Structures are given as structure tokens and as C-alpha cells.
Structure 1
Amino acid sequence: MNWGVGHLLALLVGFCLDLLLGDPHWAPHPVRAIGALIAGLEWGLRRVFPKSPGGELAAGVVLVILTLAIPTGLTVLLLWVCGQVSPWLALGVESLLSYQLLATKSLAAESRKVYDALKIGDLNQARHAVSMIVGRDTASLDEAGVTRAAVETVAENASDGVIAPLIFLAIGGAPLGMLYKAVNTMDSMVGYKNDKYLWFGRAAAKLDDILNLVPARIAGVLMCLGAVAAGYDGKNAWRIFLRDRKNHKSPNSAHTEAACAGALQLRLAGPNWYFGQLVEKPYIGDDQRPIEPLDILRSGRILYATAFFALLLFCGLPLLILLFP
């Protein structure tokens, strides 16, 4: 089997498995293993390196090197061993890994829990459900705030939870997909600009910015197309995407959020509380209508449409070209 064809077939099967199964909480997951690795490495490196800006920066660089090398190397080794047994075994294992590195259904399903709680009027349960998928303080959010948080996390994570890993899987199979998720997980754990992680997490945060530079922009464009396919305002999605896609401290975080805000004619982002501190952020989108719980489901539909466009562009078309040159 052609090397490229094998990776793309594994991605196609993995994408379908993700849509069917989502992310069962009881099942072992490579991202959770990467998280445990990062936590263990941080514990050890902080004890080895000096507690100074230079020492913490060096420790963070070592963290990046080890966190990239270990999961990626193990993935390469696993697929090589499986390939020695049977190419079909290698395809099956890579399909499972590809499935676990994508988060389309789980992102939509976790946000759906927020909608279900709001639908029955249980604001406390909705706050709890949204706290599982966002980093902000949720205890004092009203219904609109909870809804906005859920829509924002679907829109923002469409890039680094679905589109970017799909692109890396298409380019380099499960090993490159695993490398991307290692970087993304590091950024989510240590990439904060606070006293604890300002220097230690700097290398991880910068690398995450670099890896997402192109995928985030592709994801924003695809979400504009996804908005049209899902039946929402594609023209406004494109307008807000062009206008507000840089309205975030991170160079990559606002692209899909801007497209989704425009598609749904909503105003997202703005000031929010994080760990007891008010963080001022610019708004994204126009306040054309009040946000409502149904917007959570609408953002999920746009997410699915965007994911299908990405699959067609980065997997379907290349696979057809390789199979029928």
C-alpha cells in the first residue's frame, strides 16, 4: 500500500469513527497520557533547573523537546512494529490513533450538555457543564453568559481540536498528528502568561503559535464555507472574519470565533473573569440579536460542516489523486 494512501485512508476511517463514537470518558486516550507526561516532566524539571527566568526558560525548552520526542517516537515505533506484522494491522492502529486525535463529536456533544441543561432551566447544571469545556470562571454567569461561553469554545476549538489535527494527520499521518497534539496540550497546560508559567511555558506557547499559524486561518475560511452549508449567514461570516479575526492576544484564536460570530450574527468574546481576575478582551462580531441557547446547537452544525469541508479538501481530494492519477 502506498505510504500516502495508507495515511489518508487511516484519516478517513478515523474521522468516521470520531463521528460515530466521540470520546468515551472511560477509554484510554493518548492526549490524557500526554497530559500526564507533561505534568510529570514539569515536576521533575522544576526541581533540576534554577528558579530564575533563564533557568525556567531552559526547563521549558527541555519540556518541549521531551514532550515532542516521546509521544511521536512511540507512535512511529508502534506503527513500524504493526507494519512488520501486517500492513492492515498498521492501518487499523493508525485509524484508531487518528480517531482519538480528532474531537468533532466530543466538542459538539459536550456543548450539547450545556444546551440540554439550559433547555430545562437548570442554570447551575449548565454552569457546571460549561465549566468542563472553558477556562473562565463560570459560577456567576447568567444564561446568556453560559450560552456565549459554550458557543465560543465550539468556535475556537474547531481549529485546534478538529481542523488543525486533521491537516497534520493528512500531511504526516498519526506521528505528525501526535506531535501536533503534544504541542497543543503543552500550550493548554503551561502556556499561560502568569507568574508561574511566564518563562517555563514560553517555548511551548511560541511553538503552538507557529504550528497553528496557517491551520487557524484555513479553519476560519472553511468555517465561512461551513456557515453557508449549514444555512447561516456566510456573507456576514466572511465580513466579521476579515474584520475581527485578530481581536485576540493569541495570533490564532479569533479566526474561527470571528467566522462563527458573523455566521450567527452575534457578538462574542469581550471581558471575562479568569481565576478571580477580570481580563479585558475586545469583542468579536456585532450585537445584531440577543444570544439564545439554540445558538449552541447552531455552532455545532457549523462545526460539522466545517469539518466535512476540511476532510474533503485535505483527505478526499488527495486520496482521489493518489488512487486515480
Structure 2
Amino acid sequence: MAQPRFAADAVGMVLGALLDVVFGDPRRWHPVAGFGRFASLVERRTYADDRVAGARFALVTVGVPVAAAAAAARLTRRRPVARTALVAAATWAALGGTSLAREGRVMADRLEHGDLDGAREQLPNLCGRDPSTLEAPELARATVESVAENTSDAVVGPLFWGAVAGLPGIVGYRAVNTLDAMVGHRSPRYARFGTASARLDDVANLAPSRLTAALTVAAAPVVGGDPGQALRVWQRDGGRHPSPNSGQCEASMAGALGVRLGGRNVYGSRVEERPQLGDGGRPTPRDVRRAATLSVTVAAAAVGVAAAARLRLGRHERGRGRK
């Protein structure tokens, strides 16, 4: 039997995932928004156009919430009900799977009804590409790619680190991922300052992205896909993407849906040519809907895997304590 604190963590993650299913993202007083304001304050006080300043910024902005979460975990070590509630709240705040799938379905609806203007307005809810010149096939592709990547970032990543490190893992992962979104992109201001945050996010997502890809392969039949094809495309194309992690998720999604991803992406004044992932045609609105369904399926599987892993770790710790 697992130690009570590990069992509380496992139950808390499951409850937090259920809260996300029922309510989606908290509409007011979202902790991630509060963290963003804290990080912006630290940035204003520490910014300099160099990597050392960026490393100090990342250390402070990640270290403070992780230290607070670790202190809370210690205080609730022998209080399983309080610990369960804390982990459930943190998991709910960290997860974004329900909102991600909902945004994907909205995009599918607009594309199916030929509402191109509405689809272009919808895209910024999913990714940072310039939608102004995109036609329906490119809007569908951008959505499928975003759903694939964010299934890892918004679902599997927090759960993976919750399984590994409990409450501090959930909080720390969400802090790292939020910093990457804030300062980890390529721009004149953050080209050097954001390097540490971007690299930290890469490291934090090495395992979650590959777990996401593996779960996507396993779940392919839910949307009529072939797991063998999904595995083949993942293994062949996962390393072609400029990101060490996004390509894993996007390639497995492309294989599971039987579509082709990649191509020309415009981010404001910056243009990127991404390699082709997959062998099929360009995604259709139906494929966007299938991607959302696949994301929800992967999320449900990830909850089960994370809770089981945390319980197993607790049994391992109990066994060590008896020696």
C-alpha cells in the first residue's frame, strides 16, 4: 500500500482533472494569470539584454512558487485531506485540456460553416500565428498542430511532473511552461534574455512530449487511426521539427489522423518553413474535430498513468522505509 501522502497526491490529481472536465479553466482569479503578473514584475526589475540576467530571472520566478509549493507539501505531509485539496486545486489550475479541446471544436465548427473570418478570429486562442492571410486548410493545419503540442504542454506535462514530484512538480512545471510562453520566443527583446527560460522548458518537456506521443499512438483507433502508422510517422518525423519536443507530438498526431502537417508559418514579421510531418493530405475541419477528440482521450489516459505512477512511487517509498 502506498504512503498516505502519495495516495493523497494521486487522488488530488484525479480530482483536479475532473474539475477541469467540469469547469474548464478558472474564469476569475486564475493562479497562472497571477503568476504571469509576478513574472512581469520580476522582469521589469531584472531585465537586461543578456543570458545571465535571463537565467537569474528564471531562477527567481520558478524558484519562488516551487519553494512555496514544497513548504505547503511539507505542512500537509500528515494531513491527507488538506494535501488532496491542495493538489486538486493546483492540478485544476495547471491543466488546460478541456479549454483546448473546446477551442479546437469551435474552430472546426467555423470552418465547417465556411466562416473564414470567424475562424481567423479564433486562431489566436490556439497559437501565435498571424491568421490574417490564412485560408481554411492552413487554419485547420495550425489548429491540429496547436492541439497536438498543447496536449503535452497543458495536460500531460503537469500530470507527469505531478507523478514525479507531487505538488512542487505541478507548480514548477506550470511556472516553467508559462515563462517559456512569456519570454522564450524569438524576438529582439528576448533573443538572449529568454534563452534560459526556453531551454528550461525544453528540458522539462523531454519526457512529457514523448509520453504524449506514445499515448497518441495508443489512442489512434478512437478516431479511426492506425497505431502502426502513427508509430511509424512518429519515429520517422518526430525529430524533423526545430523543437526537440513539439515534433514528437505533432508527428504522432499526423500519423494517428493520417494527415500531413508542417509548412510555412508566419509569426508577425517572422516566417518559418517547417518540415513535412506525415504522409496524408492537409487537415480538414473533420480532422480538427478528430484532433480534439484524440486530445481528450490522451488526457484521460494521462490522468490514469500519472495517478498509478504516483501510487507506485509511494509503494516503493514505503518498501524502502521498511528496510
User: Partner residue of 1:3?
Assistant: 5
1:126 partnered with 2:119: yes
1:104 partnered with 2:97: yes
Residues 216 and 294, structure 2, Cα contact 8 Å, conserved in 1: yes
Q: CA deviation at 1:318?
A: 4.8
1:216 partnered with 2:216: no
1:295 partnered with 2:287: yes
User: Partner residue of 1:234?
Assistant: 227
Q: What is the alpha-carbon distance in structure 1 between the residues aligned to residue 210 and residue 76 of structure 2?
A: 35
Q: CA deviation at 1:7?
A: 0.8
Give the TM-score, by structure 2 length. Answer: 0.90
Q: What is the alpha-carbon distance in structure 2 between the residues aligned to residue 290 and residue 201 of structure 1?
A: 33
Q: What is the alpha-carbon distance in structure 1 between the residues aligned to residue 91 and residue 309 of structure 2?
A: 18
Q: What is the alpha-carbon distance in structure 2 between the residues aligned to residue 218 and residue 239 of structure 1?
A: 16
Q: CA deviation at 1:268?
A: 0.8
Which AA in structure 2 matches 1:61?
A
Residues 137 and 276, structure 1, Cα contact 8 Å, conserved in 2: no
User: Partner residue of 2:300?
Assistant: 308
Structure 2 matches for 1:1-325, cutoff 5 A? 2-24=4-26, 26-46=27-47, 49=48, 51=49, 56-79=50-73, 87-286=80-279, 288-316=280-308, 318-319=310-311
Q: Is the partner of 2:205 in helix, strand or coil?
A: helix
C-alpha spacing 1:34/1:321, structure 2 compared with 1 (3 Å): closer
Residues 230 and 305, structure 1, Cα contact 8 Å, conserved in 2: no
Q: Is the partner of 1:273 in helix, strand or coil?
A: strand
Which residues of structure 1 form unaligned runs of 5+?
none
Which AA in structure 2 matches 1:35?
G
Which AA in structure 2 matches 1:27?
R
Q: CA deviation at 1:313?
A: 2.2
Q: What is the alpha-carbon distance in structure 2 between the residues aligned to residue 149 and residue 93 of structure 1?
A: 35
Q: What is the alpha-carbon distance in structure 1 between the residues aligned to residue 72 and residue 312 of structure 2?
A: 27
Q: What is the CA RMSD across the aligned residues, in angstroms? A: 2.2
Q: What is the alpha-carbon distance in structure 2 between the residues aligned to residue 215 and residue 79 of structure 1?
A: 23
Residues 266 and 290, structure 1, Cα contact 8 Å, conserved in 2: yes
Q: 1:67-117 CA deviation, whole Å, 9 max, x = no partner?
A: 112222233344555678x54233213211111111211110111221222
Which AA in structure 1 matches 2:283?
I
Which residues of structure 2 form unaligned runs of 5+?
none
Q: What is the alpha-carbon distance in structure 2 between the residues aligned to residue 190 and residue 260 of structure 1?
A: 27
C-alpha spacing 1:206/1:289, structure 2 compared with 1 (3 Å): closer
Q: CA deviation at 1:142?
A: 0.6
Which AA in structure 2 matches 1:13?
L
Q: What is the alpha-carbon distance in structure 2 between the residues aligned to residue 261 and residue 95 of structure 1?
A: 32
Residues 20 and 92, structure 2, Cα contact 8 Å, conserved in 1: yes
Q: What is the alpha-carbon distance in structure 2 between the residues aligned to residue 169 and residue 83 of structure 1?
A: 15
Q: What is the alpha-carbon distance in structure 2 between the residues aligned to residue 320 and residue 79 of structure 1?
A: 19
Which AA in structure 2 matches 1:62?
R
Q: 1:34-66 CA deviation, whole Å, 9 max, x = no partner?
A: 2212222111112xx5x5xxxx21210111111
Q: 1:97-140 CA deviation, whole Å, 9 max, x = no partner?
A: 11111121111011122122223322111111112211111011
Identity of aligned residues (%): 33
Q: What is the alpha-carbon distance in structure 2 between the residues aligned to residue 247 and residue 307 of structure 1?
A: 25
Residues 270 and 284, structure 1, Cα contact 8 Å, conserved in 2: no
Residues 144 and 283, structure 2, Cα contact 8 Å, conserved in 1: no
Q: What is the alpha-carbon distance in structure 1 between the residues aligned to residue 100 and residue 38 of structure 2?
A: 23
Q: Is the partner of 1:272 in helix, strand or coil?
A: strand
Residues 223 and 257, structure 2, Cα contact 8 Å, conserved in 1: no
- Higher mean C-alpha deviation, range 114-123 or range 99-108: 114-123
Residues 5 and 77, structure 2, Cα contact 8 Å, conserved in 1: no
Residues 227 and 305, structure 1, Cα contact 8 Å, conserved in 2: no
Residues 226 and 303, structure 1, Cα contact 8 Å, conserved in 2: no
Residues 136 and 274, structure 1, Cα contact 8 Å, conserved in 2: yes
Q: CA deviation at 1:314?
A: 2.4
**Structure ranking higher on relative contact order (CA contacts 8 Å, 6+ apart):** 2
Which AA in structure 2 matches 1:127?
R
Q: What is the aligned length?
A: 315
Which AA in structure 2 matches 1:57?
R
